[in-house]
Structure 1
Amino acid sequence: MAAPPFEAPVDGRQSEAALAIRRGVRRLLRARGFATVTELPLASGRRADVVGVNGDGALLIVEIKSSVADFRADQKWRDYSAHCDRLYFAVDADMPLEIMPEEAGLIVADSYGGEILREPPARLIPPAARRAVLLRFALAAADRLHRLADPGAASET
């Protein structure tokens, strides 16, 4: 018997366009060796759209922007850099790319995949911050897998 397909629960805050971008981003990152978790709460109280970690422990955060209005209304993205080695924006092909900040990487994606158009500047977050994000990532991923196997179980995340 085949395992049921898994998609993280949608909480209703994401538009169809944002969900399509998210799917493509996750496919792109998986092809590049990153495991991802969506909607990850961070120690700062922010919630990252997509967090990725690879086998070397490199951490990245992808902030999804589905429209110009979405980008202009949300300036909290700078707070994410304290929680990752690389910060990206992900947009669809209709977004005017010239408005996206140069200090972040840039991904263009749709529901089938994505492409990195610009890498962000290289940096490393402090070990304590890395540990905190990795623990949150691991706990969220394990909890989500548990809820998939046992939907009636209580949830911590």
Structure 2
Amino acid sequence: MSSPALIVPIDGRQSETALAVARGTARLLHAHGFSVVSELPLPSGRRADLVALDSAGTVWIVEIKSSIADYRADQKWPDYRAHCDRLFFATSLDVPCEIFPPDCGLIVADAFGAEFKCEAPEHKLPAATRKAMMLSFARAAALRLQSLIDPTGPYGEME
């Protein structure tokens, strides 16, 4: 007995390059023991491109930048530090690594995989923030899965 594959709908906000970088980065993070949720709303009201959580409760945020213009136009990334143990940028091979700040990690990716170019410094979350992030991550993942199983259910507005 086989079940049909669940297809996650694309919301249309990301470029093809950003989607490819997200996919490759998620594969890399998974290979390092992390589960990943994309476009996760944060308690600050911001929305993180990728949030990764490992079995020890370590929280990483990855901000995807698909071009130099994308990086220069969006300067809200410093706000993400308050919600993670490590902050990374992920980009494609076409974007020069030198434009990214040295106090963040860097991942270079395509649609099939990625590699760490620079590790991110660790800044441990306070326990209450870690708990809030883990609950947000778990609820978003569960609601998204349930909305795929039951597309006409009331799950989309609860994130």
TM range (shorter): over 0.9
**Alignment of 1:80 onto 2:84:** no
Percent identical pairs in the alignment equals 56
Name the counterpart of 1:57.
Answer: 57
**Which whole-Å CA distance do the structure 2 matches of 1:85 and 1:5 have between them?**
33
CA drift at 1:6 = 3.5
Runs in 1 of length 4+ with deviation above 2 angstroms? 1-9
Aligned length: 157
Change (3 A) 1:108 1:7: farther
**Which whole-Å CA distance do the structure 1 matches of 2:28 and 2:115 have between them?**
7
**Which whole-Å CA distance do the structure 2 matches of 1:90 and 1:103 have between them?**
14
TM-score (norm 1): 0.97
TM-score (norm 2): 0.96
CA drift at 1:8 = 3.1
**Which secondary structure state, in structure 2, belongs to the residue aligned with residue 81 of structure 1?**
helix
**Which whole-Å CA distance do the structure 2 matches of 1:147 and 1:37 have between them?**
15
- Unpaired runs of 5+ residues, structure 1, are none
Amino acid at match of 2:71: F
Over aligned residues, Cα RMSD in angstroms?
Answer: 1.0
- Which digits, 9 at most, give the CA deviation of each residue in 1:104-145, with x for residues without a partner? 100000000100010111220101111111110000000011
Range with greater deviation from structure 2 (85-94 or 6-15): 6-15
CA drift at 1:7 = 4.4
**Which secondary structure state, in structure 1, belongs to the residue aligned with residue 141 of structure 2?**
helix
Name the counterpart of 1:4.
Answer: 4
